[in-house]
Amino acid sequence: DARVTQTPRDKVTEMGQEVTMRCQPILGHNTVFWYRQTMMQGLELLAYFRNRAPLDDSGMPKDRFSAEMPDATLATLKIQPSEPRDSAVYFCASGLYQIGGRSNEQFFGPGTRLTVL
């Protein structure tokens, strides 16, 4: 059963600390997305990658957030330094983009619940 996995599932940290979230996309998917979900803002796209290259990171605060794909099986989202306003659930999603194809479905992981005190 192919699924997106994320670690950790829960993270509580102090303001100013570095936070790293990890995602393993579905094997064979070439596009990886990072979202943030809060009660106030709903689901917001932070960044996405295709074939490990960043395509759009316009939703991400550049001064403290960074996203990378060290290899095809791992995506990371890092916050340094973390602030209380970063408290949210962070989702990773993956999908398969094919030139000329219609399929644009994104499959979500279970999320990382981040609390910054």
Partner 1 sequence: EDQVTQSPEALRLQEGESSSLNCSYTVSGLRGLFWYRQDPGKGPEFLFTLYSAGEEKEKERLKATLTKKESFLHITAPKPEDSATYLCAARGETSGSRLTFGEGTQLTVNP
**Is the C-alpha dihedral spanning 67, 50, 2, 71 positive or negative?**
negative
Q: Report, in Å, the least distance between residue 16 CB and partner 1.
A: 27
- Compute the distance between CA of residue 110 and CA of residue 93 in angstroms, rounded to an integer: 9
Q: Report, in Å, the least distance between residue 62 CB and partner 1.
A: 17
CA neighbor of 54 nearest in space, from 31, 83, 26: 31
Q: For residue 2, give both structure tokens.
A: 């192919």
Residue 81 or 110 with smaller CB distance to partner 1: 110
Residue 79 or 111 with smaller CB distance to partner 1: 111
Residue 17 or 104 with smaller CB distance to partner 1: 104
Residues engaged in binding partner 1 (CB under 8 A): 4, 31, 33, 42-43, 45, 48, 50, 55-56, 91, 93, 95, 97, 102-111
Q: Report, in Å, the least distance between residue 109 CB and partner 1.
A: 5
Q: Report, in Å, the least distance between residue 48 CB and partner 1.
A: 6
CB neighbours of residue 27 within 10 Å: 9
- Compute the distance between CA of residue 29 and CA of residue 39 in angstroms, rounded to an integer: 29
Residue 71 or 105 with smaller CB distance to partner 1: 105
**Exposure of 73 in the CB half-sphere (CA atoms within 13 A):** 2
